[in-house]
Amino acid sequence: MEMLKKDTSMVDFMRITIVGCGAIGSRLAKAADEMEDVKRIYLVDVRKDIADSLANELKKAIVVDSVEDELYHCDLVIEASSQAAARDVAPRVVSRGVDMMIMSVGSLVDDDYRNMLFKTAKEHESKIFIPTGALCGVDGLRSASIDEIDSVVLTTTKGPKSLSGVQYLIDQGIDVDAIKEKTVIFSGTAREAVKIFPKNINVAATVSLLGIGFDKTRVEIVLDPEATNNSHELNVSGAFGKFVSHTYNMPEPENPKTSYLAVLSAISALKRICRNEWFGI
């Protein structure tokens, strides 16, 4: 039997599901609550008390137990939780013909999984949206990738708070609070970086997907004990020429592992999706 997909072409409002009610999810929900184009917000979190608390602050939100609970009534699901959550939720969403926004872009590092997800989305006429995140310059990289790109190097500098609790650093015996000068704590491929730093370097995944892939994109992570913000320097060279983009981000106040620009990027992306406006594509 042919699966029926609802026609949203004439709908002037949206119903969205947000998976994850942490720093990014809660800010996104609060912004969506003020958007005229958003009619209903469904909240999902493994910590139901956190979701309930957030819903109590909003006018349009209700808490559901699972992303599937309201999927047939939903126009867009936004993952704002973790790589593991994204890998679990995304296939279930797109296979039901619902659009998906993925914040944990590192979840797409596995080639077989990513190809399966994109194929499933195409088969069911679902769209996958990936915000630009905490990095400027990705528009230039996207355009440059139409022709030959010689190299893409991403250098990320973070303070100790942004890198605390990373298991890789603990295993290496690196005490981030004991480092007193700028120190390179990782140098390798984007594929390695995304797997080792799943909560810290989603921008590397975005850059890889837009450019020359996870294995050719080089990433360097620098710990700076004096850093008051997270910075990303993107160096790209190819047939188009060369460019350098340097972004200095303020940390998200409630989660220093996340750049505030990443949150703003998600809100901006939601506004564009709701309004069907695509300036700068």
* Cα–Cα distance for residue pair 99/94, rounded to 1 Å: 6
Overall residue count recorded for the chain in this entry: 281
Q: Active-site residue among 73, 124, 232, 246?
A: 232
Q: Which residues contact 170 (CB under 8 A, 6 or more apart)?
A: none
- SS3 category, 114: helix
Q: Strand ranges (DSSP E) for 75-138?
A: 76-79, 99-102, 128-129
Q: Is residue 68 exposed (0-12), middle (13-18) or buried (19+ Cβ within 10 Å)?
A: middle
Q: Which residues contact 199 (CB under 8 A, 6 or more apart)?
A: 82, 166, 257, 258
Q: Is residue 174 exposed (0-12), middle (13-18) or buried (19+ Cβ within 10 Å)?
A: middle
232 is catalytic: yes
Q: How many helices (H) and strands (E) does the chain have?
A: 10, 13
- SS3 category, 51: helix
Give catalytic residue positions.
Answer: 232
